[in-house]
Chain A
């Protein structure tokens, strides 16, 4: 079957138009997540210091540590997935 250049261009335009990538929005959301992550870590560190000096309750310490653990695990998991996807692209035969 003979595919003309015009048809190919039309097909390409149709595919591209269907899912417009919004990189700016994705970037700002990711930056927000990173900020939240850093804030969670800072809060937990502060709570740990306060618990050690007897100013905060053990419950607050456990809560802060659990939150930090989840935040760090989320970050590590997301990083692993991103690196994996990147390597997949690098391994693509051109």
Chain B
């Protein structure tokens, strides 16, 4: 596989990883008001194929944020205990929005690399065509 074709594959894996991250972010945002919800986290890792590092990226296993959940005061809520509080989620909307924006920027960067590799191969071929 040529370097440019490999670049295409690596940029594609980066886009894949970033869309996976955006999916988790959207799950967190959607569940912001779910009682007892813990926000989902993921890490990025390099793909190793047959003991060889390929340079591609993938998302690791999904982990749950062990952070403190917000205590919501609502005595009328079915989940509220005798003090009138229940466990909310530990999702912080600001963090999630920032995460989503970061995923977008990274996706765009990978897209640019993809397009550039494509243009470079195309330019090389155009040379032959006169």
Contacts and interface: CB of A to CB of B under 8 A. Distances in A.
Contacts, number: 33
Given A57-B16, A59-B15, A59-B19, A81 B8 contact: no
A34 interface: no
Interface string A53-64: 000010110110
Contacts of A70: 5, 118, 121-122, 125
Contacts of A59: 12, 15-16, 19
A80 interface: yes
Given A57-B19, A67-B5, A80-B129, A73 B122 contact: yes
Contacts of B19: 57, 59
B16 A66 contact: no
B30 interface: no
Interface of B: 5, 8-9, 12, 15-16, 19, 114, 118, 121-122, 125, 128-129
12 contacts: A59-B19, A60-B12, A60-B16, A62-B12, A62-B114, A63-B114, A70-B125, A73-B122, A73-B125, A74-B125, A77-B129, A78-B128
